[in-house]
Amino acid sequence: MSRSLKQDHSEIPALLRALKSLLKAKGLLYHDVAERLGVSETTIKRYLTGHSLTVEILEDICHVVDARLSDLLAISQEAIEQGALSLEMEQILVSDGLLAGVFYLLVRGLSPATVQRDFNLSDAEINGYLTTLDRLGLIRLFPYNRIRVLVGRNFKVQNGGPLARLAYESMIKDFFTTFDVEARDWLFVFGKLSPSSLERVRELVRNFMDAFDDIAEGDRDLPLDLAKWYGALFMLRPVDLAGLRDWPPRSSDRAVDG
């Protein structure tokens, strides 16, 4: 006889969140699960909100993502422990730039399979990176390369620290050295801002970054022939409009600058 799971049971919401994260990592939608179990998409939605859910049904959905109930319980009990990385941890990560890259993409929600494909890693290489991150306590590694990230999605890095320097040297610096004034995707704006107005602008930038993440999340598992990697860099800093008085620069100034 099926045993119903009470919706108000303290562990059920955590189990369902863990199950949804596994479905997302596998790139499975509700209708995919519905087809495999031979039920309607509406029924799956009800199950994943805790309605009419039984242990047997929970096991059936777990099988869709190649997981066991024990795996689901372990994942659900893993809390996100870190909001910032120590200097020592950053130094370990940057000792292998690709390790740092794999870690960052996993934190951003990409599955190990997608990371392996986009970086063209062998099974041994991706397994090595995952094992290292598990040993460092940054992820929890489960069978079949299922993972639970133990660092918050918006984790903080050390100001001017190893990860910030790696990001600058490997990617951000290239933004400036290859800047093309004729490219379409750049804007520059300036205006007088009081401290309170400056904070409002910062909030707008944060909102844009959140929206960027939401849009990118829908394409994160696409192959590279359908979706390319893009980066956006925002910087707020004072500008000296009085410098326009000296424009255009004298030929002698150009020679010195060159």
Contact indicator for 58, 48 with CB cutoff of 8 Å = no
Kindly list the domain boundaries of the chain, sorted by start residue: 12-77, 82-154, 180-246
Residue with tokens 């020592």: 88
Contact indicator for 117, 223 with CB cutoff of 8 Å = yes
- Each residue's pLDDT expressed in tens, for the chain with a length of 258 residues: 445 555 444 467 778 888 887 888 788 888 899 999 999 999 998 898 888 888 899 999 999 988 888 888 777 765 444 567 888 999 999 999 999 999 999 998 889 999 999 999 999 999 999 999 999 989 989 988 989 888 877 788 888 999 999 999 988 888 888 888 898 888 888 899 999 999 999 999 988 988 898 888 888 888 999 999 998 888 898 988 888 888 887 765 555 454
pLDDT of 7: 46
Q: Which two tokens stand for residue 97?
A: 């730039």
Is the pTM for the entire model greater than 0.75? no
The per-residue DSSP string of 5-34 comes to PPTT-TTHHHHHHHHHHHHHHTT--HHHHH
For 82-154, CATH gives: 1.10.10
pLDDT of 11: 66
pLDDT of 227: 93
Exposure of 86 in the CB half-sphere (CA atoms within 13 A):
7
For 12-77, CATH gives: 1.10.260.40
pLDDT of 210: 84
Residues 6+ apart with CB under 8 A from 136: 89, 92
pLDDT of 67: 87
